[in-house]
Every structure is written in structure tokens, then in C-alpha cells.
Amino acid sequence: MILTDADVAAGLDALVRLDPRLAPVVEGAGPVPLRRAEPGLAGLVATVVAQQVSRASASAILGRLREAVEISRAAAILDAEDEVLRRAGLSAAKIRTLRAAALAMSEGRLDFARIERAEPAAAVSELVALPGIGLWTAECFLLFSLGHPDVFPAGDLALRLAVADGLALSDARPKEASVAEIARVWSPHRSVAARLFWRHYHVVTRRDAAPAT
């Protein structure tokens, strides 16, 4: 599990041994943030909020949402008026997603303890069965909220651009499948590799594209 900064440091060392091409990426990245998120419903809410918006926007929306609603409680999300959620900055689609997750949790269909114990593929399958939860959201939840050590959200555009730049690929905008295949060699440390390449993206572009936590 990736739970501490020491875990990230150990993962970076292991990645360089697995793939020496990463040595200059690690050297240029500087400190690679842990970025732990809350577990359970609150962490899933934060990941949904981060869908398809900038980190700055997601952080602002999440801050307003936390002030209005106790996001760790399914009942609080289900009881919140739509207008309260809209004022926080949530789209209609994200409101539906959060209500669906809260309802599934309240009915026992969404069990975060079970997801934490499950293998990644099974955990992802359970999460993506919820309306509005796609592969990126499920993988980022496993990575940041559960500290899973071997997840690489290759669907993330910033990660794909960072991998292309860091590894000097001929294709500057590689497809998801190509980057997922490249990342296989970094197993079982793909979650640290994802953190590394989000950091590389920040260093190169001066923009922080990692999901808000």
C-alpha cells in the first residue's frame, strides 16, 4: 500500500531499477507528492468532483461542498437539496452520480470495506457499475483513497502527455492503450509511477493536473 512519503520514495527507487529510462524523470521531478485522499464515500465524492475539471476548480468546488454537506455520510448527500449542491458548483450529472453512490451505500450495494479488500479488477468493476463512475474515477479512487500500489490511470490525458514527454516517445499524444502497455513494466509500482508522471507534467507545464484530494 502507498500510505506514506516513505512508500513513495521506495516505489521511485524500485521503478528506476525496473526501468532505467525513469532515472532522469525522477531526478527532474523533485519531491513527488503522496496526495492521500479520504477513504470511503468522502474520497469517492472528491474523485467525482475532480472529473473533467481543473485541479483548481475541483478544489474550489470541493471546499464549498464540504461547507454545505457532510460528504462522508450517505444520508447527508441524499437529504441535501439539489440547489445546495448546484451552488457548490456541481453539475446535474455529478449530482446524479453522488446521489446514486450514496443510495447504493445506504442500501448496502456499495461496500467500501469490501472494495478495499478486493483485487483491483473486482474493485473497479464494482465501482464502474454505479452511474457516472467510469474507469478513470474508479482507478483514481483506488490510487489516492485506498493507497493501492499498482494502479495507472492511463485514460488521464495529462499522464499520457507526461509519459510521452518523459520517455521522449515519437507520438507526443499516445493513446490510452499504448500508455497502459508501457506502464505494465512498472508493475507492481504503477501507482507511484502515476504520481511521478503527474509531477513531471507539473514541472514541464507549470500546471498541476493531478486530481484534487
* Domain of residue 15, CATH code: 1.10.1670.40
Is 166's pLDDT higher than 90?
yes
Q: Write down how long the chain is.
A: 213
Q: Residues 94-120: pLDDT tens digits?
A: 999 999 999 999 999 999 999 999 988
Q: What's the rounded Cα separation, in Å, for the pair 133 and 127? A: 6
Helix residue ranges, H only, 69-207 = 74-79, 82-88, 92-106, 112-117, 120-128, 135-140, 157-166, 176-183, 190-205
| Percent of the chain whose predicted confidence (pLDDT) is above 70 | 99
Report the alpha-carbon distance of residue 132 to residue 129 in Å, rounded. Answer: 9
Give the count of domains, the chain. Answer: 2
Provide, rounded to the nearest whole percent, the portion of the chain with pLDDT above 90: 92
Residue of higher predicted confidence among 39 and 211: 39
pTM for this predicted structure: 0.92
Same domain membership, residue 193 and residue 176: yes
Residue after which a domain boundary falls, among 145, 171, 186 = 145
Closest CA to 210 of 151, 144, 146, 118: 144
Per-residue model confidence (pLDDT) at position 5: 96
The answer to whether position 210 is within a domain reads no
Start-to-end C-alpha separation, the chain: 17
> What mean pLDDT is predicted for residues 80-106?
97
How far apart, in whole angstroms, are the C-alpha atoms of residue 115 and residue 199? 27
* Structural domain that includes position 18: 5-36+150-205
Q: How many CB atoms lie within 10 A of CB 117?
A: 11
